[in-house]
């Protein structure tokens, strides 16, 4: 059941939602980001530099055992998940910025994730001789299939059939909320046996990590005087991690199931905080 959820239902659902998102975007939305890249740069810094640093700090401060510490940093070194785009849209954040951050950071993570995890393994004296290598072709294909291609098709529909896109925007936003709820329910159902142990062992640490990186995104946006919609995109993209990739690295590449425990706990928190943000900001920032 969990394989069907992760391998078939979730990617297909996200691709359909991305198609709907594309119907609310134009080329101008993306060109504005590249003309004024400050928000994108801050989002990249928040997720690829600040997030791993916070994870290291929490692991050391709370004196986590080696396995939990490395597992936490594996999670923090992974790119954001496409679910962040759904949450950003429902929160009325800068969707174009969110999509850009998801795609760009996914490419950057091919190198940054390897560097961060290799350092963590060495720092905590664990498997220091193992080299982490993320599959480049698979990563590119995933980005194209789930994010870039559906959004591009949606943008083309908006450009050439604006009436169709206008009618679809509201139903797709509703579908996004339903998909979000189904994802959360599915994660709890398929990982029920490990969630209790995960929350007990690293629950507070993973919650602090999630809240800290979301707060960091909003704080950076405030310091550099960005629009509130940019702050939403940066904060949400920092808080929603690619948990599937973190689990693959822990269980398959490092052959250590326990290292996936922080990811199991964090997965619950990131969807709870994401849901709270959706509830608070879906009307407020309209």
C-alpha 101/C-alpha 238 separation (Å) is 9
Report yes or no: 75 and 261 within 8 Å, Cβ to Cβ: no
**What's residue 191's pLDDT?**
63
**What's residue 4's pLDDT?**
47
Listed as ranges, residues in the chain with pLDDT below 70 are 1-11, 126-140, 143, 180, 183-184, 186-197, 283-286
C-alpha 101/C-alpha 44 separation (Å) is 7
C-alpha 190/C-alpha 132 separation (Å) is 27
C-alpha 83/C-alpha 241 separation (Å) is 9
pTM equals 0.82
Angle at 51 between CA 97 and CA 126, to 5 degrees: 140
**What's residue 134's pLDDT?**
61
Distances (CA, A) of 126 to 102, 114, 259: 30, 15, 11
Report yes or no: 159 and 29 within 8 Å, Cβ to Cβ: no
C-alpha 42/C-alpha 63 separation (Å) is 30
**What's residue 2's pLDDT?**
45
Domain 2-284, CATH: 1.20.1530.20
C-alpha 66/C-alpha 121 separation (Å) is 9
**What's residue 102's pLDDT?**
86
Tally the C-alpha atoms within 13 A of residue 71's C-alpha that lie toward its C-beta: 30
Q: Tokens representing 255? A: 């052959």
Q: Tokens representing 65? A: 């055992």
C-alpha 23/C-alpha 31 separation (Å) is 16
C-alpha 241/C-alpha 76 separation (Å) is 7
Distances (CA, A) of 245 to 76, 141, 195: 11, 14, 18
Nearest Cα to Cα of residue 66 among 123, 2, 144, 10: 123
> What distance lies between CA 116 and its chain's CA centroid?
17
Torsion-angle region of 26 (φ positive above 0: left; ψ -120 to 50: alpha; else: beta)? beta
């Amino acid at each position: 059941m969990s394989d069907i959820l992760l391998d078939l239902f979730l990617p297909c659902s996200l691709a359909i939602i991305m198609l709907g998102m594309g119907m609310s975007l134009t080329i101008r939305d993306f060109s504005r980001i590249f003309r004024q890249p400050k928000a994108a740069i801050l989002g990249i810094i928040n997720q690829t530099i600040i997030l791993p640093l916070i994870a290291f700090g929490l692991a050391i401060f709370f004196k986590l055992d080696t396995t939990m510490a490395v597992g936490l940093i594996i999670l923090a070194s992974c790119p954001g998940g496409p679910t962040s785009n759904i949450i950003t849209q429902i929160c009325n954040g800068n969707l174009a910025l969110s999509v850009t951050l998801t795609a760009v950071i996914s490419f950057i993570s091919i190198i940054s994730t390897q560097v961060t995890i290799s350092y963590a393994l060495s720092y905590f004296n664990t498997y220091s001789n193992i080299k982490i290598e993320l599959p480049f072709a698979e990563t590119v294909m995933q980005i194209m299939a789930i994010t870039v291609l559906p959004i591009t098709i949606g943008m083309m529909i908006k450009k050439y059939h604006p009436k169709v896109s206008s009618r679809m925007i509201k139903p797709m936003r509703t579908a996004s909320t339903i998909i979000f709820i189904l994802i959360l329910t599915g994660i709890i159902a398929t990982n029920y046996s490990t969630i209790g142990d995960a929350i007990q062992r690293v629950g507070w640490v993973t919650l602090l990590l999630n809240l800290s990186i979301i707060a960091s995104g909003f704080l950076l946006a405030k310091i550099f005087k960005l629009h509130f919609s940019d702050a939403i995109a940066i904060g949400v993209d920092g808080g929603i991690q690619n948990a599937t990739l973190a689990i693959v690295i822990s269980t398959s590449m490092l052959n250590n199931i326990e290292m996936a425990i922080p990811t199991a706990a964090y997965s619950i928190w990131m969807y709870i905080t994401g849901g709270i943000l959706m509830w608070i900001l879906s009307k407020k920032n309209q």
